[in-house]
């Protein structure tokens, strides 16, 4: 008998206590019973947004550098996108790959694609390597591997990462590329607002450079349009041409795929795709109304999390629009400017990784700032030390903010947030309780057998498993991407996250069973992947990657500990030159890895610490302090770009930079 995913509140009714949390669901006592008994939405994501905002059509839905788009205007823009895509030949079930940052057109096209029954496949629009040819190859591999038929990209992404693969795309049958510019949604006022923001945040010189860069891209795009072997179509031109066109509205089908997001880390040469259905997105948004989340009608949301990540597309965009929020679009972002953005936009909601909020504590622009406008400050994507959470909450309190940090646990595979911590279950070291329509269980990490509460046991420690209507089907083109497992007739995924659940269902996160961790910017680092890359070098005997804390980034970066083969001896200068060559050959020129997987420090050592039973002592490595003997790798990057690489010799040996 096929296992059933959690799609109905009937599955929440439990009479007898079994001791198994996934059957007893003790956390439900915190939720309103009337809400739990409400039927789950069965409609498309567009219909769900419209249904939730029937009386809110005059409220702003999207703001882009001061220019506001109301909900009624948003629906019109979505229809424009559907007309354009339909005229291009997009049909029910087709996949469109998008390389787009947070600009209004990204939302229009996502929902416009869904209206046709097609699938919006979002990939990271940032270059994945300092070598754009490598980035272009990865785009082609994703496009071909995920069976996309159409490609829509920001002009910069097209010029840097699509133009080099036009011949290969043409061979696949691609006839045209739709190009969108960030300025397409800007009138004169919003363009001036944009330049003024660049000046305020980054200085007058950068404002001039930004204006010059925009002119340069416009000229390059014009030239590329004339010489390309494909037809390069400007999105605003298509909107004008298709204003009298019609399109066929796709009907709701249970379990129908509507978007594909991607994980930020990867266990293969390509990021892992996460296929999501209309039901996944709608059930997630629906349950936020019963989860005591302070998301209120008309709230302004600072939207910086990207569309290619479920955390951004589902938790911020779809859930935000479902609540009648106004999404303030931030296409390019550095954490150092967060304080300035808060003071400029005064949003009620901000959602992001822990490092964003740690940056605020020492931000001079916020020294005497009043942050009382904030009502929801939520972090996710990584754990935070209790001491840091205390510091941030004190900072918020001292700046007249009436809320504290809220947080949870989740995965791309669960549409982002799976648990939420607020109110009476908001302990400093907790990740809260499962969301209203999410079921957590605890299994033995080794046997994968479910654990139960005994009379003398108030806590369970093990690996979390999750079942919910928000969980991805996990299958794309008959390929199993996310395995599902059956427990007591219910459909679960295993998280690889080790944690503790108490008898009330309140949970704590302890560690990842695969040693993975999150960089300061939210990128997932899987040490074994990097270790395998480095160990492919014939001079490397052992390699272990561990996280180390970077003070000025308020987060972690990877450190590679290397033991060379027995007969290899190198001076300090030779070690530095060797690491420079290793990075060049194994990472920069390697299309199978991301530039963001490059360790920011390398340490060549004689041996690795071991446990009494002879295994590598990972805890001892993680506890080691930096000594100055490490070789540094600095990578220039923002949320949408990757720049040059600098190799820095050990501090104890010399201070000068070898290469930039």
Instruction: Convert the pLDDT of each residue in 386-418 to its tens digit.
Output: 888 889 999 999 999 989 889 899 999 999 999
Q: Which of 219, 210, 179, 183 is nearest to 99 (CA)?
A: 179
Q: 517-648 is classed in which CATH architecture?
A: 2-Layer Sandwich (3.30)
pLDDT mean over 100-113: 97
Mean pLDDT of the chain: 88
Reported as a single tens digit per residue, the pLDDT across 30-76 is 999 999 999 999 999 999 999 999 999 999 999 999 999 999 999 99
Does position 85 have pLDDT exceeding 50, yes or no?
yes
Pick the CATH number of 1-40+427-513 from 2.60.40.2240, 3.80.30.20, 3.40.50.300, 2.30.38.10: 2.30.38.10
Does position 16 have pLDDT exceeding 80, yes or no?
no
The answer regarding whether domain 74-187+200-275 maps to CATH 1.10.10.10 reads no
CATH 2.30.38.10 region(s) of the chain? 1-40+427-513
d(CA 49, CA 349): 19
d(CA 175, CA 112): 21
- Portion of the chain with pLDDT greater than 70, in percent: 91
Q: Which tokens is 464 given?
A: 């979390």
Q: What is the pLDDT of residue 4?
A: 40
Beta strands in 263-374 (DSSP E): 273-277, 300-303, 326-329, 349-352
Q: What is the pLDDT of residue 7?
A: 38
CATH 3.30.300.30 region(s) of the chain? 517-648
Beta strands in 305-404 (DSSP E): 326-329, 349-352, 376-379
Place 185 in a pLDDT band, splitting at 50, 70 and 90. Answer: confident
- Quick count: other Cβ atoms within 10 Å of Cβ 99? 27
Is residue 262 within 8 A of residue 308, CB to CB? The reply is yes
pLDDT mean over 419-429: 78
Q: Which residue has the higher pLDDT, 431 or 642?
A: 431
Does position 261 have pLDDT exceeding 60, yes or no?
yes
CATH 3.40.50.12780 region(s) of the chain? 74-187+200-275
Q: Which of 233, 240, 313 is nearest to 281 (CA)?
A: 313
DSSP 196: H
**Three-class DSSP category at 645:** strand
Q: What is the pLDDT of residue 268?
A: 45
Reported as a single tens digit per residue, the pLDDT across 293-316 is 889 999 999 999 999 999 999 999
Does position 193 have pLDDT exceeding 90, yes or no?
no
Is residue 463 within 8 A of residue 495, CB to CB? The reply is yes
């Amino acid at each position: 008998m096929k296992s059933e995913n959690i799609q109905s509140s009937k599955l929440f009714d439990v009479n007898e206590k079994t001791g198994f949390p996934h059957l007893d669901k003790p956390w439900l006592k915190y939720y309103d019973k009337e809400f739990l008994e409400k039927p789950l939405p069965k409609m498309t994501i567009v219909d769900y947004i419209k249904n939730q905002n029937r009386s809110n059509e005059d409220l702003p839905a999207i703001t882009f550098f001061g220019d506001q788009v109301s909900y009624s205007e948003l629906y019109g823009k979505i229809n424009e996108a559907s007309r354009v895509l339909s005229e291009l030949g997009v049909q029910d079930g087709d996949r469109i790959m998008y390389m787009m940052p947070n600009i209004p057109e990204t939302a229009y096209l996502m929902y416009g694609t869904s209206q046709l029954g097609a699938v919006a496949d979002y990939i990271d629009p940032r270059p994945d390597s300092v070598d754009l040819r490598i980035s272009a190859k990865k785009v082609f591999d994703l496009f071909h591997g995920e069976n996309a038929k159409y490609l829509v990209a920001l002009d910069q992404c097209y010029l840097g990462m699509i133009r080099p693969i036009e011949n290969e795309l043409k061979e696949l049958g691609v006839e045209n590329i739709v190009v969108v510019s960030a300025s397409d949604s800007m009138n004169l006022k919003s363009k001036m607002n944009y330049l003024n923001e660049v000046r305020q945040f980054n200085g007058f010189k950068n404002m001039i450079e930004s204006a010059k860069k925009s002119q340069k891209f416009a000229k390059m795009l014009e030239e590329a349009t004339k010489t390309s072997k494909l037809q390069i179509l400007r999105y605003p031109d298509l909107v004008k041409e298709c204003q009298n066109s019609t399109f066929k509205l796709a009907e709701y089908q249970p379990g129908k795929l509507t978007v594909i997001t991607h994980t930020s880390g990867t266990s293969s040469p390509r990021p892992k795709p996460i296929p999501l259905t209309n039901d996944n997105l709608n059930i997630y948004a629906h349950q936020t109304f019963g989860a005591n989340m302070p998301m209120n009608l008309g709230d302004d949301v600072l939207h910086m999390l990207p569309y290619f990540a479920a955390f951004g597309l589902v938790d911020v965009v779809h859930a935000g629009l479902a609540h009648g929020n106004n999404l303030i679009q931030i296409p390019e972002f550095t954490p150092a400017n967060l304080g300035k953005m808060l003071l400029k936009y005064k949003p009620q909601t901000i959602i992001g990784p822990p490092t964003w909020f740690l940056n605020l504590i020492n931000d001079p622009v916020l020294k005497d700032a009043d942050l009382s406008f904030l009502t929801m400050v939520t972090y996710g994507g990584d754990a935070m030390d209790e001491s840091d959470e205390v510091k941030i909450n004190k900072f918020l309190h001292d700046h007249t903010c009436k809320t504290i940090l809220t947080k949870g646990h989740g995965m791309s595979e669960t549409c982002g947030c799976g648990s939420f911590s607020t109110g009476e279950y908001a302990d400093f070291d907790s990740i809260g309780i499962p969301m209203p329509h999410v079921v957590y269980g605890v299994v033995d990490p080794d046997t994968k057998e479910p654990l139960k509460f005994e009379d003398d046991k108030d806590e369970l420690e093990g690996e979390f498993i999750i079942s919910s209507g928000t969980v991805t089907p996990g299958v794309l083109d008959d390929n199993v991407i996310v395995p599902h497992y059956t427990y007591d007739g219910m459909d679960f995924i295993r998280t690889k996250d080790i944690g503790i659940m108490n008898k009330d269902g309140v949970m704590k996160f302890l560690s990842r069973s695969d040693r993975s961790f999150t960089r300061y910017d939210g990128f997932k680092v899987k040490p074994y992947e990097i270790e395998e890359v480095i160990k492919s070098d014939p001079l490397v005997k052992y390699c272990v990657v561990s996280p180390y804390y970077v003070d000025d980034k308020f987060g972690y970066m990877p450190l590679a500990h290397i033991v060379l083969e027995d007969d290899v001896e190198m001076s300090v200068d030779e070690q530095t030159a060797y690491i420079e060559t290793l990075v060049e050959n194994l990472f920069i020129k390697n299309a199978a890895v991301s530039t963001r997987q490059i360790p920011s420090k390398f340490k060549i050592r004689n041996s690795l610490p071991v446990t009494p039973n002879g295994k590598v002592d990972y805890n001892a490595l993680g506890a080691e302090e930096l000594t100055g003997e490490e070789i540094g790798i600095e990578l220039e990057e923002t949320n949408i770009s990757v720049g040059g690489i600098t190799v820095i010799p050990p501090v104890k040996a010399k201070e000068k930079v070898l290469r930039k």
